[in-house]
Structure 1
Amino acid sequence: MFISYQPELKSMFNSLIFDADGVLMDSMPCHADAWVRTFSEVGINIVRQDIYDIEGSNHVGVINLIFERDGRKADPEMIEKLRVRKRELFLKKRNISPFEGMYDLLKELKEQFHLAVVSGSDRPIVDSMLNEFYPDIFEVIISGADVTNGKPDPEPYLKAIEILGVKKENCLVIENAPLGVASAKNADLCCVAVSTYVDSEKLSRADRIFPEHAPLMSFLKGLEPLDE
């Protein structure tokens, strides 16, 4: 599924803000497996797709959404317990890799655009992945722990824009998750999405949807920086 994209938008940006998991790294299966195991230990059975559908939310959001679906409520002590356990499982069996060609592309884009990351993952997880696969690329990194309200709330993207010191209309968000797209659009930002783990129909609020990374990367490579 593609949504028409106005040609003039290709030259109106000076800042690109990326989600991490599913956009920069092929990491969501590992995240999902860690969550599946974590929730099973407190008697809640889910599958990977349950996590993919709410990807982008921080750990508080994920836990609350899954508990609500199970007719339960997680208190702060339970949330912290599950957060720590999920992170432990993720880091213990981490099996992730960057999407092919993305690092080289970002090295080129860095010469012309401000680059930032907005992720729902915990700070140690985000930092470990970016330090390993994308060192010295991003000016600003927002993790799930850096905001009070995670995606789909606009706060994560608005915080990144504030720190970058740029205008909303000059920012392009690159997402792959329904809640992430919602967060960007709730912040009144232009957003393109790649349907890495969910059907494109679930990303319908994005300004354009790419079926895979290759056309997304071609699009990004063709962007012309804003003439300031």
Structure 2
Amino acid sequence: MLKALIFDMDGVLVDSMPFHAAAWKKAFLDMGMKIQDEDIYAIEGSNPRNGLPLLIRKARKEPDDFDFETITTIYRQEFKRIFELKAFDGMKECLELLKSRYLLSVVSGSDHFIVHGILDQLFPGIFDAVVTGDDVLNSKPHPDPFLKAVELLNVGKKECIVIENATLGVEAAKKADIYCIGVPTYVKPSELNKADLVVGDHKKLMEHLLSLETLFSPELVLRRR
């Protein structure tokens, strides 16, 4: 029986990744490095602790030569300066309907301040559990963030569905052995091919979520595939 839906935030609930990308590029430029949007989208879902070494190596530098906290501070300041708060059309109304049927959770690689700041403004009182990049040591693609959400929701893994838009997020959900729906917001659909189901866009995602029956079992769907 389906009891809970677990959402990524950036790219699923909020159209925010272009602002994250711009802020990280500014932080790296201030530190004498250059990275591309695609480098950032490739590690979407990881927290700075796990993602920064990958980005620094993409810039052909050694992670040990840089202070992660300095880079992160510049990023946070720039993100706060440029960010325009915008949920995907219809998502708030969709979540309000889903809340009457399921437990709802957010699992994001962004830090506590950013995640809760966005959720408090756009989706107040909607989510039963929130896991941020500060709440786990190992971020996506490790399963830890989703396993933490399952623990907080007090449900079984087979009673959940994860909704993700990032390659690392899909990988993390499958490592956690949770059914995963992918929505290709910023990447090609083929890059989410490890998901159990890939929908074309947010409109189709919301239609699918609202059509789910409470007796839906991800385990049964997996056996039918």
TM-score of Structure 1 vs Structure 2, range by shorter chain: over 0.9
Q: Do residues 115 (structure 1) and 97 (structure 2) align?
A: no
User: Within 2, Cα distance between the matches of 1:118 and 1:152?
Assistant: 12
Gaps of 5+ in 2: 217-225
Identity of aligned residues (%): 44
User: Within 2, Cα distance between the matches of 1:186 and 1:28?
Assistant: 24
1:163 to 152, 155, 161: 152
TM-score normalised over the length of structure 2:
0.92
Q: Do residues 132 (structure 1) and 141 (structure 2) align?
A: no
User: Within 1, Cα distance between the matches of 2:142 and 2:162?
Assistant: 14
Equivalent residue letter for 1:24: L
1:63 to 40, 46, 52: 52
User: Within 1, Cα distance between the matches of 2:188 and 2:93?
Assistant: 27
Task: Identify the residue that residue 63 of structure 2 maps to in structure 1.
Answer: 74
1:146 to 135, 140, 150: 135
1:21 to 10, 35, 44: 10
After TM superposition, where is structure 1 displaced by more than 6 Å over at least 4 residues in a row?
none
The 5 A counterparts of 1:1-228 are: 12-75=1-64, 78-226=67-215
User: Within 2, Cα distance between the matches of 1:146 and 1:73?
Assistant: 26
Structure 1 residues 217 and 75: CA distance shift in structure 2, 3 A = same
Instruction: Give the secondary structure class of the aligned counterpart of 1:141.
Output: strand
Structure 1 residues 76 and 101: CA distance shift in structure 2, 3 A = farther
Equivalent residue letter for 1:67: I
Deviation at 1:62, TM superposition (A): 2.1
User: Within 2, Cα distance between the matches of 1:124 and 1:61?
Assistant: 18
- Higher mean C-alpha deviation, range 34-43 or range 214-223: 34-43
Equivalenced residue count is 216
User: Within 2, Cα distance between the matches of 1:211 and 1:35?
Assistant: 28
Instruction: Give the secondary structure class of the aligned counterpart of 1:145.
Output: coil
Question: Is the 1:119–1:143 contact (alpha carbons within 8 Å) kept by the matching residues of 2?
Answer: yes
Equivalent residue letter for 1:97: K
Instruction: Give the secondary structure class of the aligned counterpart of 2:39.
Output: helix
Aligned-residue Cα RMSD (Å) equals 1.4
Deviation at 1:74, TM superposition (A): 2.4
User: Within 1, Cα distance between the matches of 2:172 and 2:124?
Assistant: 26
- Higher mean C-alpha deviation, range 70-79 or range 55-64: 70-79
Equivalent residue letter for 1:107: E
